[in-house]
Amino acid sequence: MAEQPVNQRRIILHVDMNSFYASVEMAFDPSLKGKPLAIAGNVEERKGIIVTCSYEARSKGVKATMPLWQARKLCPELIVRKPNFDRYRTASRAMFELLREYTELVEPVSIDEGYMDLSEFPGSKPLEIASSIQNRLLEELLLPCSIGIAPNKFLAKMASNMKKPLGITILRKRDLSNKLWPLSANEMHGIGEKTAEKLKTIGIHTIYDLAHADTRAVKSLLGINGERLIQRANGNDLRDVNPNSIYDFKSIGHSTTLSKDTTNETQINEVLRKLAHSVSLRMKRKEVLANKIFVTIRYSNLKTITRSKTMKNPVGEEGDIYHEAKDLFFTHWNEEPIRLLGITGQDLVEKEDAVKQLDLFSFEHDAKDEPILSVIDQINQKYGSQLIKRGVKGKQEEPGTPGISFNKDFLS
């Protein structure tokens, strides 16, 4: 992407709803306003997990990912509600419709956050526009938000997180030395706990350290992503605000023709595993995850079918891809001899922008192999967003009707 002309000043807003689920519940039931409220799965069970909570609950020490029993111990008066996804979808649609009244250049990122590009309005006063947006969301939808204003998406994202709730923060490049660089490296969007620990091994503890690090050393440690992180730390980000990104259907796939037609399940499994390995490797190189897995089956009579499954959480690991592809294959295979097999990961999202959508009702299963807080901290840091409940399966939104989801498919 070419550098933009100097006289073309970019004005990017990142609108991030505050404690979205809890705020929606308060808007629906005003009696909850001002009270400690939490949204959690398995609300009747001791093992339930807090997904989000109001700031009143946070002031008592309650936080996302905390076991429900622990939250109630800290805050006996805590009000707990089950998630209502239809309600959250409706609120999200209304929120994005309001943003599009200001500009068509709105890029949804998740159900409760998105970017806006106001660069086309050279005479605009971004602070006034941000204040108008924030006030209208609060008055018309009863939903609070924080807004970051910056010359690019990365800085706008960092800015929106600097003051919550109901904050508006301007972050210019000239502000880097006093607003951004003093922060710990793990507070930077795109850096998770594991990456931060790796950076410490080469003496990088703050965003300042990263911004001034030796590119070769960081690239050697983190690969091509290291160079990108250094650019971000220096406030550089050329990504456009793309309203059509929710309709992107990029894919990575691999197929192979078998040496001879077969119905041997052991051989078929081996081929699927090799295909999954290839697809996973390519996805890792491109640093993306797939929201949908396709399997292609070609029989000895050349009849070809494709079957797909939308993931509840985006996948990229070989084992996950293999498991889903195997399940698809053996569900739809008619036991006739196979000539060709293929696996494709579709509806790709960058790891940096993806959201790990833990299911409220299977959270304990996801976290059973590691300490809960460690797992969730890594997930939230790695994927660059707050913990969000996985979406439900539905029909794909047709182009021309902008929608948004936990992972760009939730409202479809």
**Number of Cβ within a 10 Å radius of residue 111:** 31
Residue appearing with tokens 């697809």: 279
**Number of Cβ within a 10 Å radius of residue 31:** 8
Residue appearing with tokens 């960092």: 158
How many Å apart are CA 190 and CA 299, to the nearest integer?
Answer: 44
Q: Which two tokens stand for residue 325?
A: 């592809």
Q: In Å, how far from its chain's centre is CA 40?
A: 19
Q: Beta strand pairing status for 12-17 and 145-150?
A: antiparallel
- Rounded to the nearest 10 degrees, the angle between the axes of helix 85-99 and helix 20-28 is 100
Coil, helix or strand for 75? coil
**Is 398 among the catalytic positions?**
no
Q: Please tell me whether 369 is known to bind a ligand.
A: no
- Half-sphere CA count of 98, side-chain side, radius 13 A: 25
How many Å apart are CA 205 and CA 195, to the nearest integer?
Answer: 11
- Asked if 51 and 40 count as a contact pair (C-beta separation under 8 A), the reply is yes
Cα dihedral 186/19/408/254 (nearest 10)? 40
Q: Please tell me whether 16 is known to bind a ligand.
A: yes
- Half-sphere CA count of 393, side-chain side, radius 13 A: 7
Cis check for the bond before 402: say yes or no (omega within 30 of 0). no
Q: Per the residue annotation, which of 113, 318, 324, 352 is the catalytic one?
A: 113
How many Å apart are CA 203 and CA 51, to the nearest integer?
Answer: 34
DSSP per residue, 213-263: S-HHHHHHHHTHHHHHHHHHHTT-------GGGGG---EEEEEEEEEEEE-
How many Å apart are CA 291 and CA 362, to the nearest integer?
Answer: 18
Known binding-site residue numbers: 16, 112
Known binding-site residue numbers for Mg(2+): 16, 112
Question: Catalytic residue numbers?
Answer: 113
